Chain A
């Protein structure tokens, strides 16, 4: 017979205290029958490179292409065979064996708004219906929590919100720049001496008879605002000052770095989805200098922030999925202004964490980075992949305002098995 002392630490229920061996074995047998141990639902950090990051200068380097294609920025070899990334992405290059990379994402929406809708919702834009983004669909049925279930840092791009779902599925936008010394999320703290005011408000609101649906929605937000104000843990989750200086420096004292750090704090505290929006990737002019000058250089900030995020989540529970994406790639051939224009026919997406295979690379583009050369996939497929990795029901029906059911995952989308764990 097995020695229970050897088993207990593995299954880790603390039920061994004060129970007989028989009870313990019955318990273990029952646990073995459960399809999956109960644990916290998987969470998402979506890093949105707003404007359309150039795939050639980030994750799909073409060192052997002509200079009019590869541009002025060199690429570097990575531990993965045949994968070249921007030279400045040294940290990420070293971490690629822990991530999954999709290089053959391809679609046909070359406008920012249409491309954003497609990537964020998995569906082509419709003239009559704005679909909900993935994070909104994740949190639509959650109870009113003190800590918002969906947070956008610092704000959500167009189509990153609730779409046709009720406003309660939308993001809580923290606003401001998390890298500023005086950054704080406004309105989380009750002003001094406001107890009496809020007490009277609660008394006034408590009366009155039947409430219309709209009034009940308003009441829900009032309750949540009060709960957020009352719970010190919420303020703590949003308070970057609680991070040691060394950690803040590791993420980088810039907008993207501190946004990613805030995202990590929030998912650690129980937020289901964080959308980090990094603006300024629409490089029509002089892309080489736009990516490598400035404070901090765009690529350095990306490398530093994502490397720190990947390291921290590695130490943590592994229940967090990180997805780095934007609305499209950029033209492989440099334009006369030394920039790159919109290019939806090829783009790269970086994935890491929960449900994602480590070191997987899906697809290649042709020698010029213009088209997928193998394993072409669509934003719908990416959406289905994220849904699968997050362990959400792909068949769940979302209700449009006129009552029509819409499947969460587009009907023609297939999860990309190659990048799934």
Chain B
């Protein structure tokens, strides 16, 4: 066994070459394809989608994308073209070396330096007979990374046949950084910290990844504050801010916070009465009181129903076909759930039940599997439909086996892979033609039940050992209220895509479970938290960096449905007065700017303009009232100067609901 950090390539290779310092020769292991050559081909970029990993290969030489099919790659090198790519008698003459060394023409240019460790390794491998895997019983069981000054060192632990050995695989690993604005990492594993924040450096080798966290503080951490009893999320927030040396924003002004709460939870800005009442409540409890009240409203239930429909990717409309009716029933079911405070697993049990409308939306079991993974677990198994994902753990076989859990036990429509079978559905592998054994996703090390009854899928989704359903849901609720998830994209949870603040997600998961797996306690915990109530940045220089770490709040756009409700709401007209806003942003803008509906709403009897006129106050009072209703604040001196001369309530109301401030929650 070699010592870590001193020798990084199989030393047999080095022993082969007289030019190498003989002092470095130690115990030897001949290189083989799986452990050495395949990672090297990936690292040199040979197996990328732009080169020989492309679907059709490159210049007749095809490798599997990201090395997902080692056996095929080995065959392509050793046997295809009549074995001409290798010359076992004269290894140095092998095409596999001649091409990348640019001794003969190579479309990809020079990929190997003469005498480089990579060159020596390939040479030794060919000289050794180009073996596939020398110890077939051996498996890579663990990959770990640690830092040696400004370099990552990667160690692989192999075990098999009662033996274990550790090997330095730094020079065969691929490196990446989770955030290039914080730390960059080179091809050889040397890294550099370039900005404040936290970054994870990843090393990938043999289908596994290892990571190392790097923290560069924004400033020296302030002295720890006196320990006060804080909500768990606030405590986690304070701890992380100290860890990153970030000075959080001050709390948002009370009315700005109230506007957020009302628009986020009910989709409507707070009325004048609600604003006055909020200011009269005791400052230390008014947020909690308001949140409790808002969560009990019908408007919140509707808002939650819309969010759930979005998360579950439910279609908004259903036509008069059986499928359309099922879709509408499903939507009604989800909305009914939102109006109760039942535990989340009760809804998912319906979604995953026998012949559920949720799954029946898709014909292909693979689509169903991906839908469940994406919406309920927040993971993208779909990448593995075509190839093993280089940054994710799913293999093609995992994807197929999970999809088999959703095969229909009945004749399925054409064009899908489901077949007729008695009892349980069967999925056939399109490549081998063989039936696939249903298996749940390997979320944790221990294999889960080999079963594909709906109950076992449901049990798997809520399995506590991975807790991925809760993690995904907490992240979605957080993203709903804060405008951005702790994990982004929301459906891309994986080891190589860590959360901005892992500890916050852990706290939210605990809160969710402590509340009996119910949504409302989770929403309340976030809405009353310190991070929710932070102010938005003004002109600060590093506002982008600070908002990225949630030390300041992002401004957040109202979705178009909420925008339409809010506009009609403050104008005091029927919701139907504005047509559903077009999804195309430019059309939407023209509709609002020039559309007839807006003009009619501004002139509708009994609307806000008429109500103001009926009250008959001074223009100043009318302007203040309009600002209060629309923007939850009073006009500034500059706004008074601009709007008060020749005051026009109708034009003001229009400008206020169309303004950037109305559309973006600050």
A interface residues with partner B (beta carbon < 8 Å): 110-111, 126-128, 148, 167-168, 170-173, 175, 186-191, 194, 196-201, 203-205, 207-212, 214-215, 217-219, 221-222, 224-226, 228-229, 401-402, 407, 411-412
Q: Is B642 an interface residue (CB 8 A)?
A: yes
Q: Within 8 Å CB of A412, what residues of B?
A: 54-56
Q: Within 8 Å CB of B591, what residues of A?
A: 186-187
User: Which of A172, A198, A200 is B586 in contact with, Cβ under 8 Å?
Assistant: A172
Question: In the complex, what's the smallest C-beta–C-beta distance from A109 to chain B, in angstroms?
Answer: 10
- The answer to whether A222 touches B589, judged by C-beta atoms less than 8 angstroms apart, is yes
Closest residue of chain A to B638 (Cβ to Cβ) is A207
- The answer to whether B660 touches A197, judged by C-beta atoms less than 8 angstroms apart, is no
Q: Within 8 Å CB of A148, what residues of B?
A: 586
User: Which of B415, B582, B589, B636 is A110 in contact with, Cβ under 8 Å?
Assistant: B415
Given the interface contacts A197-B655, A204-B656, does A186 sit within 8 Å of B415 by beta carbon?
no
Question: In the complex, what's the smallest C-beta–C-beta distance from B84 to chain A, in angstroms?
Answer: 23
**9 A-B pairs with the lowest CB-CB distances in the bound complex, closest first:** A127-B382, A187-B590, A200-B655, A225-B589, A201-B655, A412-B56, A197-B654, A187-B594, A197-B651
B22-57 interface bits toward A, Cβ cutoff 8 Å, 1 = contact, 0 = none: 000000000000000000000000000110001110
In this complex, how many residues of chain B approach chain A with their Cβ under 8 Å: the count is 57
Total A-B pairs, Cβ < 8 A: 140
Closest residue of chain A to B364 (Cβ to Cβ) is A111
In angstroms, Cα B589 to Cα A167, docked, is 13
Question: In the complex, what's the smallest C-beta–C-beta distance from B284 to chain A, in angstroms?
Answer: 30
- The answer to whether A209 touches B539, judged by C-beta atoms less than 8 angstroms apart, is yes
In angstroms, Cα B594 to Cα A199, docked, is 13
Q: Is B383 an interface residue (CB 8 A)?
A: yes
Question: In the complex, what's the smallest C-beta–C-beta distance from A380 to chain B, in angstroms?
Answer: 10
Could you list 11 examples of A-B contacts with CB < 8 Å? Answer: A111-B415, A127-B382, A170-B584, A171-B584, A187-B594, A201-B654, A201-B659, A208-B661, A210-B540, A215-B660, A411-B50
Per DSSP, chain B at the interface is: helix
Q: Within 8 Å CB of A188, what residues of B?
A: 590, 594
Closest residue of chain A to B492 (Cβ to Cβ) is A402
Known pairs A127-B367, A188-B594 / 13 extra A-B pairs, C-beta < 8 Å: A126-B382, A127-B380, A128-B382, A172-B587, A204-B660, A205-B659, A208-B660, A208-B661, A211-B660, A221-B586, A222-B660, A402-B492, A412-B55
Q: Is B319 an interface residue (CB 8 A)?
A: no
- The answer to whether B595 touches A187, judged by C-beta atoms less than 8 angstroms apart, is yes
In angstroms, Cα B599 to Cα A189, docked, is 13
Question: In the complex, what's the smallest C-beta–C-beta distance from B553 to chain A, in angstroms?
Answer: 10
B interface residues with partner A (beta carbon < 8 Å): 49-50, 54-56, 367, 370, 380, 382-383, 385-386, 415, 489, 492, 537-540, 543, 547, 554-557, 582, 584-591, 593-596, 599, 636, 638-639, 642-643, 648, 650-652, 654-656, 658-661, 663-664
In angstroms, Cα B590 to Cα A208, docked, is 23
Q: Within 8 Å CB of A221, what residues of B?
A: 585-586, 588-589
Q: Within 8 Å CB of B538, what residues of A?
A: 209-210
Q: Within 8 Å CB of B660, what residues of A?
A: 204-205, 208, 211, 215, 218-219, 222
Given the interface contacts A200-B643, A215-B664, A221-B585, does A229 sit within 8 Å of B593 by beta carbon?
yes
Closest residue of chain B to A175 (Cβ to Cβ) is B587
Closest residue of chain B to A174 (Cβ to Cβ) is B587
Q: Within 8 Å CB of B555, what residues of A?
A: 212, 214-215
Question: In the complex, what's the smallest C-beta–C-beta distance from A85 to chain B, in angstroms?
Answer: 30
In angstroms, Cα B294 to Cα A96, docked, is 67
Question: In the complex, what's the smallest C-beta–C-beta distance from B369 to chain A, in angstroms?
Answer: 10
In angstroms, Cα B182 to Cα A6, docked, is 64
Closest residue of chain A to B656 (Cβ to Cβ) is A204
Q: Within 8 Å CB of B661, what residues of A?
A: 204, 208
Q: Most B CB atoms within 10 A — which of A167, A188, A221, A229?
A: A221
- The answer to whether A200 touches B651, judged by C-beta atoms less than 8 angstroms apart, is yes
In angstroms, Cα B547 to Cα A211, docked, is 12
Q: Within 8 Å CB of B650, what residues of A?
A: 197
Q: Within 8 Å CB of A111, what residues of B?
A: 415
Q: Within 8 Å CB of A170, what residues of B?
A: 584-585
- The answer to whether B594 touches A190, judged by C-beta atoms less than 8 angstroms apart, is yes
Q: Within 8 Å CB of B655, what residues of A?
A: 197, 200-201, 203-204
- The answer to whether A203 touches B642, judged by C-beta atoms less than 8 angstroms apart, is yes
In angstroms, Cα B326 to Cα A6, docked, is 76
Q: Within 8 Å CB of A175, what residues of B?
A: 582, 587
- The answer to whether A226 touches B593, judged by C-beta atoms less than 8 angstroms apart, is yes
Given the interface contacts A203-B655, A207-B638, does A225 sit within 8 Å of B586 by beta carbon?
yes
User: Which of A110, A167, A187, A212 is B593 in contact with, Cβ under 8 Å?
Assistant: A187
In angstroms, Cα B318 to Cα A170, docked, is 26
Closest residue of chain A to B491 (Cβ to Cβ) is A128
Question: In the complex, what's the smallest C-beta–C-beta distance from A75 to chain B, in angstroms?
Answer: 30
- The answer to whether A198 touches B593, judged by C-beta atoms less than 8 angstroms apart, is yes
Question: In the complex, what's the smallest C-beta–C-beta distance from A148 to chain B, in angstroms?
Answer: 7
- The answer to whether A200 touches B590, judged by C-beta atoms less than 8 angstroms apart, is no
In angstroms, Cα B589 to Cα A168, docked, is 13
Q: Within 8 Å CB of A201, what residues of B?
A: 654-655, 658-659
In angstroms, Cα B639 to Cα A208, docked, is 11
Closest residue of chain A to B650 (Cβ to Cβ) is A197
Question: In the complex, what's the smallest C-beta–C-beta distance from B417 to chain A, in angstroms?
Answer: 13
In angstroms, Cα B595 to Cα A217, docked, is 21
Q: Within 8 Å CB of B554, what residues of A?
A: 212
- The answer to whether A229 touches B537, judged by C-beta atoms less than 8 angstroms apart, is no
- The answer to whether A173 touches B415, judged by C-beta atoms less than 8 angstroms apart, is no
Question: In the complex, what's the smallest C-beta–C-beta distance from B661 to chain A, in angstroms?
Answer: 7
- The answer to whether A229 touches B590, judged by C-beta atoms less than 8 angstroms apart, is yes
Closest residue of chain A to B382 (Cβ to Cβ) is A127
Question: In the complex, what's the smallest C-beta–C-beta distance from A34 to chain B, in angstroms?
Answer: 31
- The answer to whether A218 touches B50, judged by C-beta atoms less than 8 angstroms apart, is no
- The answer to whether A218 touches B663, judged by C-beta atoms less than 8 angstroms apart, is yes
Q: Within 8 Å CB of A229, what residues of B?
A: 590, 593-594
In angstroms, Cα B584 to Cα A187, docked, is 13
Closest residue of chain A to B653 (Cβ to Cβ) is A197
In angstroms, Cα B660 to Cα A407, docked, is 36
In angstroms, Cα B588 to Cα A173, docked, is 11
Q: Within 8 Å CB of A189, what residues of B?
A: 594
- The answer to whether B385 touches A127, judged by C-beta atoms less than 8 angstroms apart, is yes
In angstroms, Cα B230 to Cα A180, docked, is 66
In angstroms, Cα B626 to Cα A200, docked, is 14
In angstroms, Cα B602 to Cα A191, docked, is 12
Closest residue of chain A to B370 (Cβ to Cβ) is A127
In angstroms, Cα B663 to Cα A401, docked, is 24
Closest residue of chain A to B636 (Cβ to Cβ) is A207
In angstroms, Cα B586 to Cα A209, docked, is 24
Given the interface contacts A203-B642, A218-B557, A407-B50, does A224 sit within 8 Å of B594 by beta carbon?
no
Q: Within 8 Å CB of A407, what residues of B?
A: 50
